[in-house]
Amino acid sequence: MSATTIDRPPAAEFAEQPAEKKPEVAEKLVIFAWSGELDKIWPTLILATTGAAMGKETTVFFTFWGLFPLVKNQVRITGENWMQKMLSTMNRGGDEHLKLSKMNVVGAGPAMMNHLAKEHHVASPHELMEMAKELGVHLVPCQMTMDLLGLKREDLIDGLDEPAGATMALAEAQGAITLFI
């Protein structure tokens, strides 16, 4: 008899705890940054820095077009062969050379957007990228896309994590909030 009365309270406590804790916060945030455009990289970096500020272990996995914003702003042409070089000619890398996904108007759109951002004291993608590093966000370039698009480690900015693959990204995504942008 006494055994049942002793057993129950801890059992009830255990049952309550996970139910209470689980929906509250995921401990990790993983963003797959597939798009390299200003209006997509911007929210990606806003969410990444905010996630880190909320105490989440945050990882951004940069792949395909999302890799180009990681190219150093002063690097103009990347790639080994003519196809990769043409790609970088038509799609300049760097977080200060991003295009809008709509209303780009040969660069007039981004110029206006950057002007508005300054006026409203909104941090630029470049500033957010620096903040992300300071906050300990893991910025991981996709190794396969780097090879495919002809981007070498020295073409990319400092402060990045080691290039990795899909397995690392998915392993990191286990139990995390995941976003594909």
Partner 1 sequence: MSITIATSLDLKGLSCPLPIIKTATAMKRLAPGEMLEAFATDPGSVPDFKAWAKATGNPLVQSDDSAGVFHFVLQKKES
Q: Tell whether residue 122 is a contact of partner 1 (CB under 8 A).
A: yes
Q: Judged by CB, which is closer to partner 1: 52, or 113?
A: 52
Nearest-approach distance from CB 1 to partner 1, in angstroms: 39
**CA-based nearest residue to 129, from 151, 160, 163, 162:** 160
Q: Tell whether residue 112 is a contact of partner 1 (CB under 8 A).
A: no
Q: What phi, psi does 16 have (nearest 5°)?
A: -75, -40
Q: Judged by CB, which is closer to partner 1: 40, or 156?
A: 40
Q: Tell whether residue 179 is a contact of partner 1 (CB under 8 A).
A: no
Q: Tell whether residue 50 is a contact of partner 1 (CB under 8 A).
A: yes
Q: Tell whether residue 54 is a contact of partner 1 (CB under 8 A).
A: yes
Q: Tell whether residue 24 is a contact of partner 1 (CB under 8 A).
A: yes
Q: Which of 10, 121, 158, 174 forms a contact with partner 1 (CB under 8 A)?
A: 121
Question: Any residues with CB less than 8 A from the CB of 149 and at least 6 apart, and which?
Answer: 64, 67, 68, 78, 79, 84, 87, 88
Q: Which of 21, 22, 102, 120 forms a contact with partner 1 (CB under 8 A)?
A: 120
Q: What span, in angstroms and rounded, lies between the C-alpha atoms of 117 and 136?
A: 25
Q: Which of 3, 13, 55, 167 forms a contact with partner 1 (CB under 8 A)?
A: 55
Task: Please choose, out of 30-38, 51-59, 73-81, 90-98, the segment that lies near partner 1 by the rule CB under 8 A.
Answer: 51-59
Task: Please choose, out of 8-16, 49-57, 85-93, 151-159, the segment that lies near partner 1 by the rule CB under 8 A.
Answer: 49-57
Chain contacts with partner 1 (rule: CB under 8 A): 24-25, 46, 49-50, 52-55, 120-123, 131, 134-135
